Structure 1
Amino acid sequence: MTTSTIPTTMTEPTTEWTALARRVGETLRPEVAERDRSGEINAAAFDQLRASGLSAALVPVEFGGGGATHREMGEVLRELGRHDPATAVAFAMHCHLVATQVWRHNHGNDATPVFQKVAAGALLVSTGASDWVTSSGRAERIEGGYRVHARKSPASGCEVGTVLVTSIRWDGAPEGPQVLHCAIPLATPGVRIEKTWDTLGLRASGSHSVVLEDVFVPDAAISLIRPADLWPPLLNVVIGAAMPLVMAAYLGIADEAVDLATALVTGRTDPHIFPLVGELINAHTTAEDLIEAMFTGSDNLRFANTDDYASRTLSRKTVAAQNLIDTVRLAIETVGGVGYSRTCELEMRYRDVHGSLFHPLPRAKQTQFTGRVALGFGPIGTD
């Protein structure tokens, strides 16, 4: 039995995007185990994602992209997650930034500059998860822009990225502390990467620290200035655009764990195997259904910018993450001790899938967020 025999609800994507992702993923697979040991990102993988058109797949056709839907991009990430989890999760960080711009475009905002850069091959690097509402770093106003100083970590794919999409705290703003949202080319003088990523899982995602030392950010690079300590509606958009894509990459990790486990126990009739496989399928199906619901709710990046929508998306993310982890855990339990060995791919996948816990928002923060919204308060406490 393989996952292909399990009913799947994510049926809308065209086969072309998924097939393309499969071809790319199959070429990456031979290096995955060694890169997991070394912790080195596969730069050539991102060259392939550019060359194949996958890095610009979400960009509308009229701006030079592939015109893929949100759900289709989820299927791409899901397929890549089967083959190379670290690359899939790092690539999801680029994809969610593009998806946010597609949402803006769908709501009448001009996203042309970003679309053109991505269509020309730019890879976007996000620091949003670590910045969140209050951001970090230090900005000083000067003629024509700002001088900024910051350390941003983790920044997945920063070694292969071209543009850092980040925010900087500006405590000296005349109207009180503000946050500057901006895009900074990684080749800008004063920007450097420190290789700090040494983790349990997703070791080859290149999620190192980006250090900004006396970096000039011109006014033209500032996309938004907002109060530093109030919930910004922008994050509702990011949550709705990003979380389905990110979780789709992790769903691919779980898909492959199901295939590996069921292949290893095929033909066995030990009585305990059957209920374990049943639990395995329950957890996998629950995660898949929740992630499918996230894509359905996104309405192909036309969802409403509301706290309620963000809260519901985050709730689904938390429960999906737990079921994805349970899926890979049960896969190991099903096959027995061999699954605990580093000679078995399940061991790496169990480490990798735990990365799902740390994307916004971790469980404790999510339940606080959701509880506040459900009771009529703002997402973060100022009361």
Structure 2
Amino acid sequence: MNVVSRIEALDLIERARRVAAIAAAHADDVDVKARFPGEAVEAMKAERLLGIHIPVTFGGEGATTAEIAEVCSILGQACAAAAMIFSMHQIKASSIVSHGAEAPWHQAFMKRIVDEQLLLGSATTEAGIGGNMRNSICAVEVDGDTCRLEKDATVISYGEEADAILVTSRSHAEAPPSDQVMTVFLKGQYTLEKTHDWDTLGMRGTRSDGFLFKAEAPAEQILPKPFAEIAAQSMLANAHILWSAVWYGIAADAVARAQSFVRAAARRTPGVTPPGALHLAEVSGELQLVKSNIVSALEHFEAAQGDEEKLSSMAFAVAINNVKISSSQMILTIINRCMIICGIMGYKNGTPYSLGRHLRDAHSAQLMISNDRILANSSTMLLVQRPDTSLLG
């Protein structure tokens, strides 16, 4: 990294830390009330973070996936819900950046994201197919220059708070379920009729209620590439990496709290190794494994940029799937160990060592695109794809 880009990266980290401080101050209240983390999102907008992935050509900062992942991690250490909202927004932005940059409407929309700090939501799940985002029941209707869509979405990420929602559907009424497109609908172009309330164990602040979604907009807002390409070449890799960065942030904060607990115990009994010290050393190694997993994925993704064949390959899909599986499973082990280290002070709410929110938020990780569904997809690919056994990638 040259001097200029290094300075820019440091500036991005400082901006993220200022947002994280605000997010942390409201995290418990957001969790208890299951409310949208409005203070944190307003801080993201004030720090101009929502447009960082947009290319410089369209007014953004051209931030890399690695830089965005670092922001996700910083926010994840403060408020998991705010961090997940930020990551979901950037995943949607990546679809437009990667697959809409040649289309005039989407070029103008990218400029609007930067100028107006628009928050992008997601509607990829649907009643009747659950979380299988690679199939749709609903179909977009194109009538001349206009498109219309009605979708029974069981979950729309922070749907009522989003400024625009990216929605998947079949490409037309006669298309098979896997022949999908993604369309950008702006607030004012759609209505939301709530069908499910977001009252969950964790990630309560994401406010991902279910809605009957009805929209009408210019047909040029349909992304020009099939959703199969969007998912394979940008969306899934960004999702698995950025989600993992959020989860790493949650686990990192849990380890930091456990470390503080052990240090406090050591100060009370000088010369005596606290009981939790050995567990702390063990959990530190596990956290490092999660970090290494994410860093490796970032390097793998960066090396594949611009190579559509590599991005769409089975080998790449299996590798990226493995990142999500391993990260989502290991953070639960880490936070559980931290709970054991902190004991009752970690189990109780309202202490400096409280870990209940961390643990509940972390349980969502294995459900965001079900690990069983991902493993089933990987197992099918591994029947024909040789595993990569090289240490050099």
Query: Which TM bucket (shorter chain)?
Result: 0.7 to 0.9
* Residue number in structure 1 paired with 2:301: 298
The count of residues paired between Structure 1 and Structure 2 equals 359
Tell me: CA distance 1:186–1:86, structure 2 relative to 1, closer, same or farther (3 Å).
same
Moved more, 291-300 or 188-197: 188-197
Q: Which residue of 2 aligns with 1:353?
A: 362
Could you say what secondary structure the match of 1:279 adopts?
helix
Name 2:252's counterpart in structure 1: 255
Is 2:182 the partner of 1:181?
A: yes
Alpha carbons of 1:51 and 1:75: their partners in 2 closer, same or farther (altered >3 Å)? same
The Cα of 1:279 is off from its aligned counterpart by 2.3
Which residue of the other structure, out of 334, 342, 364, is the alignment partner of 2:372?
364
Q: How far off its partner does 1:329 sit?
A: 1.0
1:76-135 Cα offsets, whole Å, 9 max, x none, are 1110111111110111100112223334479x7875234212112221111236451112
Alignment partner, residue 390 of structure 2: none
For residues 68 and 24 of structure 1, the distance between their equivalents in structure 2, rounded to whole angstroms, comes to 17
Q: Residue 240 of structure 1: CA displacement?
A: 1.5
**Residue number among 286, 289, 309 corresponding to 2:289 in the alignment:** 286
1:239 equivalent among 232, 236, 239: 236
Q: Deviations over 1:17-66 (max 9, x none)?
A: 11111111112222111111110102232222112111111112221112
Give matches, 1:159-170, under 5 Å: 159-169=160-170
State how 1:302-381 maps to structure 2 within 5 Å: 302=306, 304-306=310-312, 307-344=314-351, 345-360=354-369, 362-376=370-384
Judging changes above 3 Å, is the alpha-carbon distance between structure 1 residues 194 and 28 closer, same or farther for their aligned structure 2 residues? farther
2:216 maps to which residue? 216
Q: Which runs of 5+ in 2 are unaligned?
A: 1-5, 126-130, 267-271, 386-393
**One-letter amino acid of the counterpart of residue 223, structure 1:** L
Deviations 1:199-233 (A, max 9, x none): 000111121223223x324321222575xxxx923
Percent pairwise identity: 19
> In the superposition, relative to structure 1, how do residues 376 and 234 fare at CA in structure 2: closer, same or farther (>3 Å)?
farther
* 1:38-77 matches, cutoff 5 A: 38-77=33-72
Gaps of 5+ in 1: 1-10, 378-383
Which residue is equivalent to 1:7?
none
Which residue is equivalent to 1:5?
none
Q: TM-score, normalised by structure 1?
A: 0.85
> What aligned pairs does 1:65-214 form with structure 2 within 5 A after superposition?
65-104=60-99, 112-120=107-115, 121-128=117-124, 130=131, 132-169=133-170, 172-173=173-174, 178-193=179-194, 196-213=197-214
Shift of 1:192: 4.2
Deviations 1:234-265 (A, max 9, x none): 32121122221121111111111111111012
* CA distance 1:195–1:369, change in 2 (3 Å): closer
**Within-5 A mapping of 1:6-21:** 14-21=9-16
CA contact (8 A) 1:137 1:148 kept: yes
C-alpha distance 191-276 of structure 1, shift in aligned 2 (>3 A): same
CA distance in 2, matches of 1:12, 1:72: 13
Greater mean deviation of Cα atoms: 341-350 or 309-318? 341-350
Give per-residue Cα distances to partners, 1:260-292, cap 9 Å, x unaligned: 111012144466423311221122111111111
Q: For each residue in 1:140-189, what CA deviation from the matched residue of structure 2 results, as whole angstroms up to 9, or x when unmatched?
A: 4544434322122322222321111011236732x655433211113224
> What TM-score does the superposition give when structure 2 sets the normalisation length?
0.83
The residue identity in structure 2 corresponding to 1:168 is S
